[in-house]
Amino acid sequence: MAGLVPAIHVLQYLRMTGGYVYILTNRPNGTLYVGVTNDLVRRVFEHRSGFVEGFTRRYGLKRLVYFERFENIRDAIQREHNIKHWSRAWKVRLIVATNPDWDDLYDACTK
């Protein structure tokens, strides 16, 4: 029976096909948080509602200012890892290139 547990875990992982990398902030040019998820709307809702303890809740990071969609969750995880190691200036340039006014994109991604 114990040998089946890893197989179940692999099947759950394979169901998570697509993924998103996202950046949250508290205000334009404010504190930045880079995350990854397979369900962007659910995850940002959790951040906005304060369900997620830690960094985002402590600093009030509720504004979705950037996201990318990936067909494969592994690609999204790799991209998140890369962006997290970027300098702040690079992250800001990434946001400003697609969202120069630092608008909250949450409503746009729920439609």
Question: What mean pLDDT is predicted for residues 94-107?
Answer: 96
Cα angle 35-108-48, degrees, rounded to a multiple of 5: 50
Lowest mean pLDDT among 12-16, 43-47, 48-52, 56-60: 12-16
Per-residue pLDDT, 108 = 85
**pLDDT over 80 at 9, yes or no:** no
List the single range of 4-8, 13-17, 40-44, 55-59 with lowest mean pLDDT: 4-8
Determine the pLDDT at residue 16: 56
Local structure of 45: helix, strand or coil: helix
pTM: 0.84
Dist CA 75 CA 95 (whole Å): 19
Q: Quick one: average pLDDT of 14-43?
A: 91
**For domain 16-110, which CATH number applies: 3.40.1440.10, 1.10.10.10, 3.10.310.10, 3.40.50.10470?**
3.40.1440.10
Reading the block at residue 102, the tokens are: 């630092």
Longest alpha-carbon distance in the chain? 55
